[in-house]
Amino acid sequence: MDTVIGVIGGSGVYDIDGLEGAEWVTVDSPFGAPSDALLTGTLDGVTMVFLPRHGRGHVHSPSSVPYRANIDALKRMGVTDVISVSACGSFREHMAPGDFVIVDQFIDRTIAREKSFFGPGLVGHVSLAHPTCPRLGAACTTAAIDAGITVHDGGTYLAMEGPQFSSLAESKLYREVWGCDVIGMTNMPEAKLAREAELCYASVAMITDYDSWHPHHGEVDIGQIIATLQGNADKARDLVSRLPALLGNDRNPCEHGCDRALEHAILTAPDKRDAGMVAALSAVAGRVL
């Protein structure tokens, strides 16, 4: 199987540079329109597909991002490995603005989003014990180091609904009681849906601020965030540009089983499955349906 790298760009990252044969492609999904058209091309001989999570011009809030359509569209484009790039706040002094964190765990506090491709008529349960792919995360860490980025390998991401930032009490709860490392608004349900779609998923969290817990930095300053975002976006593009050489064009089955997550996940008997849902999931779950 050939490697196809999908990149979901977060705040400040609306395209990627250097793609050969670059073309914006419109993809239809049974789950609605994705955030935007998808930018396709090749880099170092590896096919890449880029999707701006918020759309070009940043038209989607974290709650309005069409997460199911985005993951479905990437799957329809043949993507095998998804790199999620997103802005976040930090709960740790040593994880400073401008640093990157390769997230390996999540706590999902979002409340207003469709979180699964499955439901009544086609019931499926996947494991999220380890919600990111260690192989893909390791490649992102190596790419960050090679790019001269200060990177932290591993961290727990608190996914909040937003669009408001945390209160001081919330920030202290997430940091001191729950032990989270970073906070953001977009990696959930994205990571859950990627697992359901049998896609390897890695999260590159770009720190912009210290949320509101830090006694010497006060509340989140949107002006500071935007300034840091600009520098982080350049670093993110540098990181992404190094991934094709690290991942290669020939892809073996994932040693962690991400690409076989649905092997025993669907519980609804074949003769009881909703025909409309089966059709809608032709890309996401076609391998097992």
What token pair was written down for 125?
């349960």
Q: Helix 222-247 vs helix 134-146: angle between axes, to the nearest 10 degrees?
A: 110
User: For position 233, what pLDDT does the model report?
Assistant: 86
Catalytic residue among 81, 181, 209, 259: 209
Annotation says 28 is catalytic: no
Q: Is 274 a catalytic residue?
A: no
* Sign of the torsion formed by the C-alpha atoms of 204, 210, 212 and 213: positive
Please tell me which residue in 72, 99, 211, 259 is annotated as part of the active site: 211
CA distance 16 to 159: 25
Prediction pTM value: 0.95
Question: Given this model, what pLDDT does residue 231 score?
Answer: 79
pLDDT score, position 216: 62
d(CA 205, CA 64): 20
- Tens of pLDDT along the chain (289 residues) come to 899 999 999 766 777 878 999 999 999 999 999 999 999 999 999 999 999 999 999 999 999 999 999 999 999 999 999 999 999 999 999 999 999 999 999 999 999 999 999 999 999 999 999 999 999 999 999 999 999 999 999 999 999 999 999 999 999 999 999 999 999 999 999 999 999 999 999 999 999 999 877 766 655 566 777 777 777 888 999 999 999 999 999 999 999 999 999 999 999 999 999 999 999 999 999 999 9
Q: Which residues contact 136 (CB under 8 A, 6 or more apart)?
A: 81, 82, 83, 200, 201, 202, 247
Position 15 scores a pLDDT of: 73
Q: How far apart (Å, rounded) are the C-alpha atoms in residues 101 and 88?
A: 9
**What CA–CA distance (Å, rounded) separates 205 from 193?**
18
Task: Name the nearest CA neighbour of 284 among 85, 115, 150, 118.
Answer: 118
User: Please, what are the domains in the chain?
Assistant: 4-280 (3.40.50.1580)
CA 244 to chain centre: 18
